[in-house]
Amino acid sequence: MELRQIRAFVVVADEASFTRAAARLNLVQSAVSAAVRNLERHLGAELFERTTHHVHLTQAGRLFLPEARRTLAAAQEAQHVIEQMRGGLRGEVRLGVIQTPQHVVAQPALLISKFRAKHPGVTVSIQAGGSVSHAEDLRKKRLDVAFVILPREATAGLDMYVLASEKLQLLCHTDHPLAERDQVQLAELVDQPFIDTPATWGNRLATDSAFARAGLTRKVAYEIGDTAGLASLVEHGLGVAIGPMSFINPENGIRAVSLGSDAPSLTLSLAVPAGHAVSTPVRALLQTAQELSERECRINGRSDHQGDLSDDGDRRGERAGRAGGSGTVEWGAGRAVRCDAS
C-alpha cells in the first residue's frame, strides 16, 4: 500500500469523480484509476461502485475513508516535524479569502505577511470567492482554511475561529424618512427596495436569515458584488441596505440606524474542515491569526482573551468534528470558548 494510492482514493472520494480527481491531482485519469485499482487489489475489497455517470463509495470504502485521511495526515505531520528540525516549516496552505471589513486587524494581506515573515518556507496560495463556495471547498478539501462570514446554520462540517463580530444596521440616505429614527424594526422594512450583496455572501446570508427568522420577506432591487458599489447605490438614494458600519463613510450622505433586537450579526471567522487533524502549516497560520486578534483585544482595552492554540488547543477542532458538529472558538470577541452548533 502506497501513500499515492491512498491519496488518489481520498481525492476520488471527495470529488465523487475520477475525472475531477485527476484534475485536482494534476494526473491523467488512467493514472488515478490505476492507483485506486492497485489499492483495492491490495486491500482485497472494492472501494467504489462505478457506473457510467457516477462514483459512489462502497461500505468498505466508507469504512476505509476516515482511516485513509488519518494516514495521510500522519504522514504529512511526520514530514513537517523533520522539516522543522532542519531549520523551518515547509509546505503549502490553501487559503480562501473574501472582502473583509477594513477595521479587522486580521486582514488577509496582513495575516499572510506576518505568517510568511515567521515561516518563509511555507507557500500560501489564495483563492478569492464567497463564503458559501469556500465552505464547500473546505468540506471537499479543496481549501485548507478560509475567511468566511456564515450564519451558524451554514457551518456544518466546519470548525470556526472567530476573528470579529459586528451588529448590522440599516443603511439609508440621510434624506430617507427612516434616517432620523433611533431604531427601526425589520417589519418596517418589508416594503423598502433593498440593495444587497450576492446570495452566497456572508452579509446577504445574515440578513436573509434574520428576515426568515422573523417570518418576513423583502425585495432586493439591486444586487452587487462590491461593498463600495453597495454604499454608492445607497448614497444615491436607490434603496436601503443592511450592513456593518465599515461598509460606509458617514460623510457621504449615508445614515446608519439601529435594528434593535432584530439586528443580525456579521461574524468573520477562519474556518477549517471539522473532524480532521489540522496540519502544522495551517495550525501555524491559525496561531498567527490568533496573535493578531489578541493584539486587537489589547488595543481595544480588552484583557479577557483566553484563546490558546498551543499544546492541546490545536486539537479542539478535531474533537468538535468527531463529536458530530461544527465548533466555534471565539478570538476577536474577547473570549475563546467552544460552542456546539445546534
Quick one: cell of 289? 491569526
Per-residue cell: 36: 485506486
* pTM reported for the whole predicted model: 0.65
CB 271 within 8 A of CB 142: no
Q: At 231, phi and psi to the nearest 5?
A: -60, -35
User: CB 57: neighbour CB atoms within 10 A?
Assistant: 18
3-state secondary structure of 21: helix
| Cell numbers linked to 63 | 469504512
Assess contact for 99 and 231: CB atoms under 8 A. Answer: no
Q: Which helix (H) or strand (E) holds 7?
A: helix 3-15
Write down the pLDDT at residue 300.
57
141-157 mean pLDDT: 89
Average pLDDT, the chain: 81
* pLDDT tens, residue by residue, 72-121: 878 877 776 776 655 567 888 999 998 776 656 668 898 999 999 988 98
Edge-to-edge order in the sheet of strand 254-257: 241-243, 169-173, 254-257
Q: How far apart are CA 46 and CA 65, in angstroms?
A: 13
Give every CB contact of residue 25 below 8 A, 6+ residues apart in sequence. Answer: 7, 8, 11, 32
Helix, coil or strand: residue 71: helix
pLDDT digits (tens, 9 = 90+) for 190-203: 999 999 999 888 88
Q: Is the pLDDT of residue 140 over 90?
A: no
Q: What are phi and psi of 55, to 5 degrees?
A: -130, 120
In this prediction, residue 75 carries a pLDDT of 82
Supply 221's cell numbers: 432591487
